[in-house]
C-alpha cells in the first residue's frame, strides 16, 4: 500500500530538490516558503543574479579555510532562505504568516530576515555550527521544528 508523505516530508523533499540548483562549493541549501499548503517562493544558495557562480570562480571562504558559521560577509552567495524571501518580494508575493522549509538551520542573518518577513514557522533539516539564528527565532516567538533529513 502506498504511504502518503506528511506535509513536512513533502515540502522538505521539495526543499532538497531546490537545493540541487545551488552553486555553492561548500553546502547545497534549499528553501521553500509555504502558506495554506501552497508554495509561495523557493530559493537556493548562490551568487547574486548575473554574477559568476562560485563553482566557476572559486570560494574565498574555502580558500581561507574559514569554518562554517563564521565570516558570512566573505561569502559571495546569497543564502537559500534569503533568496526565497527576496524572490517573494521581487514578485510581489506576501509571505506573512507563512512557513519556511529549509534543508539547513538558518544562520543569524537569515533569522533576522525571517523575523522581519513575518514568517511564523521554520522547519529545518540539518544543524548548523552557530545556534544564534535559532536563539533569535525563539526569542521572536517563531515556531521551530527540527525535521532531520537523511544524508545523500
Q: How, if at all, do strands 38-44 and 30-35 pair?
A: antiparallel
Contacts of 79 (CB under 8 A, 6+ apart): 29, 43, 45, 106, 107, 109, 110
**Contact indicator for 60, 76 with CB cutoff of 8 Å:** yes
Cα–Cα distance for residue pair 106/8, rounded to 1 Å: 17
Cα–Cα distance for residue pair 57/36, rounded to 1 Å: 40
Q: List the beta strands (DSSP E) in 28-134.
A: 30-35, 38-44, 99-102, 121-124
Cα–Cα distance for residue pair 50/87, rounded to 1 Å: 15
Q: Residues 9, 70, 73, 81: which is the catalytic one?
A: 81
- In the residue annotation, 81 being an active-site residue is answered as yes
- Active-site residues, by number, are 81
Amino acid at each position: 500500500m502506498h504511504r502518503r508523505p506528511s506535509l513536512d516530508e513533502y515540502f522538505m523533499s521539495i526543499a532538497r530538490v531546490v537545493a540541487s540548483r545551488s552553486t555553492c562549493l561548500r553546502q547545497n541549501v534549499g528553501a521553500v516558503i509555504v502558506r495554506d499548503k501552497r508554495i509561495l517562493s523557493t530559493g537556493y544558495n548562490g551568487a547574486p543574479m548575473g554574477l559568476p557562480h562560485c563553482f566557476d570562480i572559486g570560494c574565498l571562504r574555502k580558500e581561507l579555510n574559514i569554518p562554517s558559521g563564521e565570516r558570512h560577509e566573505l561569502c559571495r552567495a546569497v543564502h537559500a532562505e534569503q533568496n526565497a524571501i527576496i524572490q517573494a518580494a521581487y514578485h510581489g508575493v506576501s509571505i506573512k504568516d507563512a512557513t519556511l522549509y529549509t534543508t539547513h538551520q538558518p544562520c543569524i542573518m537569515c533569522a533576522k530576515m525571517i523575523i522581519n518577513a513575518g514568517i511564523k514557522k521554520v522547519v529545518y533539516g540539518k544543524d548548523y555550527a552557530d545556534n544564534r539564528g535559532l536563539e533569535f527565532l525563539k526569542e521572536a516567538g517563531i515556531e521551530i521544528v527540527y525535521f532531520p533529513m537523511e544524508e545523500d
